[in-house]
């Protein structure tokens, strides 16, 4: 497997797939001062207003909650987690499909701007190749990132693990659909087929298998991300609800 230093093949797929690297983008002093995702996951919740450096994850949740005008912090936590999950799955699945391998996305190698806009801005400080099989993808994204992220969010507020795993599954299916659309539009049926095969295998993982039903790259989840509770929000295309509940203080979370 050969990964070019700037992971250029990801750029045409869109901003959720593109990843900053030392070769493609000089991060400079600003990026060097950003926290790693490892630091975000192990940060200690504080008692006062969250700070981007002391507790970058709580800071991000507060930022998203306020931007959405969400009535509860758990809604901001859900949306923030799904956004980061979408970035990580997109990079990993995109590389596995287009390169046949994935870069090492260890949390200590990824710098993250908790004060950035969506999609989350990520810098990979070193590009080193790993295999592109489903087991490596699961170890890289699920075990390396999404489970520690889930634990860190739950340490900061009441958000259900079933909801967060549903978000992780939804983000994976969304990345696969985008890859399949790109493959169709660019005469790459091999890439579309590879995306479907890898995604189907990933959905057999114990952390994803019970989250919903995958058909090709179409997904229907068994939980709700709570976006319908945002002012002006509605249900997502893969939601367990056919329409937003009129009044529900607590949505199903798995």
| 83-138: pLDDT as tens digits | 999 999 999 999 999 999 999 999 999 999 999 999 999 999 999 999 999 999 99
What pLDDT, on a 0 to 100 scale, did the predictor assign at position 29? Answer: 61
* Residue 213 backbone class (left: φ over 0; alpha: ψ -120 to 50; beta: rest): beta
Backbone angle region of 28, left / alpha / beta, with phi > 0 → left and psi within -120 to 50 → alpha:
left
pLDDT score recorded for residue 26: 59
Instruction: Evaluate if residue 251 carries a pLDDT over 50.
Output: no
**According to the model, what pLDDT value does residue 245 have?**
79
Residue 179 to residues 37, 95, 190, Cα–Cα distance (Å): 25, 11, 11
Rounded to an integer, the average pLDDT of 185-209 is: 97
Contacts 24+ apart (CB under 8 A), 132-138: 132/1, 132/95, 132/96, 132/97, 132/99, 132/100, 132/101, 132/102, 133/96, 134/198, 134/201, 134/202, 136/102, 137/92, 137/93, 137/96, 137/102, 137/198, 137/202, 138/202, 138/205
- To 10 degrees, what angle do helices 56-68 and 73-98 make? 110
Longest dimension (CA), the chain: 54
CA 13 to chain centre: 16
| Tokens linked to 47 | 């008692």
Classified as helix, coil or strand, 148 is: helix
3-state secondary structure at position 20: strand
Average pLDDT over residues 15-27: 81
Identify the bridge partners of residue 214 per DSSP, sorted by sequence position. 219
Give pTM, 2 decimals: 0.92
Mean pLDDT along residues 198-220: 97
CB 187 within 8 A of CB 90: no
CB contact at 8 A, 156 and 57? yes
Q: How confident is the model at residue 23 (pLDDT cuts 50, 70, 90)?
A: confident
The share of the chain scoring above pLDDT 70, in percent, equals 91
- Identify each DSSP E strand in the chain by its residue range: 101-103, 110-112, 122-124, 129-131, 212-215, 218-221
């Amino acid at each position: 497997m050969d990964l070019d230093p700037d992971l250029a093949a990801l750029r045409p797929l869109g901003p959720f797939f593109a990843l900053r690297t030392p070769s493609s983008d000089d991060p400079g002093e600003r990026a060097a001062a950003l926290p790693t995702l490892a630091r975000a996951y192990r940060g200690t919740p504080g008692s006062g207003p969250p700070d981007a450096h002391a507790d970058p994850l709580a800071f991000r949740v507060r930022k998203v909650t306020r931007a959405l005008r969400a009535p509860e912090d758990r809604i901001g936590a859900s949306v923030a987690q799904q956004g980061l999950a979408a970035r990580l799955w997109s990079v990993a699945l995109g590389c596995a499909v287009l390169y046949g391998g994935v870069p090492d996305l260890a949390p200590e190698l990824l710098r993250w701007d908790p004060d950035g806009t969506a999609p989350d801005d990520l810098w990979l400080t070193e590009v080193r190749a790993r295999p592109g099989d489903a087991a490596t993808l699961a170890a890289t994204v699920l075990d390396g990132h999404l489970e520690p992220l889930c634990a860190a969010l739950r340490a900061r507020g009441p958000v259900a693990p079933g909801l967060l795993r549903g978000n992780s599954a939804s983000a994976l299916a969304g990345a696969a659909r985008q890859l399949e659309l790109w493959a169709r539009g660019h005469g790459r049926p091999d890439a579309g087929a590879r995306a479907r095969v890898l995604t189907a295998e990933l959905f057999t993982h114990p952390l994803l298998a019970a989250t919903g039903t995958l058909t090709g790259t179409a997904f229907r989840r068994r939980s709700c991300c709570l976006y319908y509770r945002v002012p002006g929000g509605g249900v997502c295309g893969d939601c367990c609800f056919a329409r937003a509940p009129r009044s529900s203080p607590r949505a199903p979370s798995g």
